[in-house]
Amino acid sequence: MNLDRSRAPEPGATRALAIPRPHRLRFENGMNVVWVRRDHLPEATLSLVVPAGADSTGTQYAGLASLVAKVLPEGAAGRNAREMAVWLDGLGLQFRVAAGYDSSVLRVQALSEQLEPALDALSAVVLEPDFLEAEVDRCRGERLDAIRRLRDEPVEVAADVLAELLYGEHPYGRLARGRVGTVERLGRADLVEFYRRRFSPRVATLVACGDLPDDFEDLVAARFGGWRGMEADAPSPASVLETSNPGFAFVDRPGSGQSEIRIGGTGLRRGDPDEPAARVTNAILGGLFNSRLNMNLREDKGWTYGARSSLALRRSSGPWTLRAAVETPVTGEAVREMLREVRRMRESLPTEGEMRNSAGSLTQSLPLRFETSGQIAGMLVEQVVYGLSDDYWTTFSTRIEGVSRQRVQDLASRLLDSGRLAILVVGDAEAVLRDLENLGPVTVRKVP
Amino acid sequence: MTTPTRAIRFSFETRELDNGLKVILQPDCSSPVVAVHLMYHVGSKNERPGRTGFAHLFEHLLFQGSEHVGEAEHFRLIQEAGGTLNGSTWFDRTNYFETVPSHQLDLALWLEADRMGWFLPSITQAKLDNQRDVVKNERRQSYENRPYGLATETVLQHAFLPGHPYRHPTIGYMEDLDRATLDDVKDFFHTWYGPGNAVLVICGDIDPEDALRRADRFFGEIPSRPSPLSPSVPASAGGSSTVVRLEDSVSVPRVYMMYPAPSFQESDYEASALVASVLAGGRSSRLFRELVYERRIAADVHAFVWPLEEIGTLWLVATARPGVSAEALQSGLDETIARLAVEPPSEEEASGARNRARRQLLLQLESVGGRAGAFAHAAVLRGEPEYVNVSFGRYGAVEVGDVRDLASRLLAVEGRTVVHVIPREPGTHSDPPPEVSR
How close does chain B come to A300, measured CA to CA in Å? 7
Considering the four listed CATH numbers 3.20.190.10, 1.20.58.340, 3.30.830.10, 3.40.190.10, the one that applies to the domain covering B13-219 is 3.30.830.10
Closest partner residue to B283 (CB to CB) among A89, A253, A301 is A89
Instruction: Say whether B80 and A109 touch across the interface (CB within 8 A).
Output: no
For residue B343, the model assigns a pLDDT of: 96
The residues facing A97 across adjacent strands are A106
For residue B242, the model assigns a pLDDT of: 86
For chain A, the 3-state helix, strand and coil shares in percent, each to the nearest 5, are: 45, 20, 35
For residue B426, the model assigns a pLDDT of: 66
The full DSSP string for A326-368 is EEGGGHHHHHHHHHHHHHHHHHSPPPHHHHHHHHHHHHTTHHH
Collapsed DSSP state (helix, strand, coil) of residue A324: strand
Closest partner residue to B359 (CB to CB) among A16, A43, A304 is A43
What is the tens place of the pLDDT at every residue in B32-78? Answer: 999 999 999 999 999 988 999 999 999 999 999 999 999 999 999 99
What is the helix (H) or strand (E) element at residue A95, kind and residue range?
strand A94-99
Task: Name the residue in chain B with its Cα closest to that of A154.
Answer: B146
Instruction: Say whether A113 and B1 touch across the interface (CB within 8 A).
Output: yes
Instruction: Say whether B283 and A88 touch across the interface (CB within 8 A).
Output: yes
For residue B3, the model assigns a pLDDT of: 44
How close does chain B come to A137, measured CA to CA in Å? 12
Topology match between the domains B13-219 and B244-423: yes
For residue A233, the model assigns a pLDDT of: 67
Instruction: Say whether A305 and B321 touch across the interface (CB within 8 A).
Output: no
Instruction: Say whether B249 and A41 touch across the interface (CB within 8 A).
Output: no
Mean pLDDT, range A13-17, rounded to an integer:
88
Asked if A215 reaches chain B (Cβ–Cβ under 8 Å), the answer is no
B244-423: CATH topology is: Cytochrome Bc1 Complex; Chain A, domain 1 (3.30.830)
How close does chain B come to A240, measured CA to CA in Å? 33
Instruction: Say whether B363 and A142 touch across the interface (CB within 8 A).
Output: no
ipTM of this complex prediction, to 2 decimal places: 0.95
Instruction: Say whether A11 and B348 touch across the interface (CB within 8 A).
Output: no
B292 vs A138, A150, A405, CA distance in Å? 10, 18, 55
Q: Which residues contact A434 (CB under 8 A, 6 or more apart)?
A: none
> What are the boundaries of each domain within chain B?
13-219, 244-423
What is the tens place of the pLDDT at every residue in A413-434? Answer: 999 998 999 999 999 999 999 9
For residue A43, the model assigns a pLDDT of: 93
**Chain B residues closer than 8 Å to A298 by CB:** 134
Is A54 in contact with A99 (CB distance < 8 Å)?
yes
DSSP A257: S
The full DSSP string for A51-63 is S--GGGS-GGGTT
Please name each of the domains of chain A with its CATH number. Answer: 23-224 (3.30.830.10), 248-445 (3.30.830.10)
Asked if A304 reaches chain B (Cβ–Cβ under 8 Å), the answer is yes
How close does chain A come to B266, measured CA to CA in Å? 25
What is the tens place of the pLDDT at every residue in A197-218? Answer: 999 999 999 999 999 999 999 9
Instruction: Say whether A299 and B72 touch across the interface (CB within 8 A).
Output: yes
Task: Name the residue in chain B with its Cα closest to that of A290.
Answer: B76
What is the helix (H) or strand (E) element at residue A217, kind and residue range?
helix A216-224
What is the helix (H) or strand (E) element at residue A293, kind and residue range?
helix A292-294
Query: For the purposes of burial, counting CB atoms within 10 Å of the CB of B217, is it exposed (0-12), middle (13-18) or buried (19 or more)?
Result: middle
Asked if A20 reaches chain B (Cβ–Cβ under 8 Å), the answer is no
What is the tens place of the pLDDT at every residue in A272-315? Answer: 999 999 999 999 999 999 999 999 999 999 999 999 999 999 99
Instruction: Say whether B251 and A374 touch across the interface (CB within 8 A).
Output: no
**Chain A residues closer than 8 Å to B108 by CB:** none
pLDDT class for A268, splitting at 50, 70, 90?
A: very high
Q: What does the alpha-carbon distance between residue A354 and residue A108 come to, in Å, rounded to a whole number?
A: 40
How many residue pairs bridge chain A and chain B with CB atoms within 8 Å of each other? 251
How close does chain A come to B129, measured CA to CA in Å? 8
**Chain B residues closer than 8 Å to A369 by CB:** none
What is the helix (H) or strand (E) element at residue B40, kind and residue range?
strand B33-40
Closest partner residue to A361 (CB to CB) among B79, B147, B252 is B79
Q: What does the alpha-carbon distance between residue A133 and residue A191 come to, in Å, rounded to a whole number?
A: 11
Instruction: Report the predicted TM-score, pTM, of the whole model to 2 decimal places.
Output: 0.95
For chain B, the 3-state helix, strand and coil shares in percent, each to the nearest 5, are: 45, 20, 35
Mean pLDDT of chain A: 95
Q: Name the stretches of chain B with pLDDT < 70.
A: 1-6, 231, 233-238, 426-438
Asked if A244 reaches chain B (Cβ–Cβ under 8 Å), the answer is no
DSSP B305: E
Residue B298: phi and psi, rounded to 5, are -115, 145
Instruction: Say whether B284 and A6 touch across the interface (CB within 8 A).
Output: no
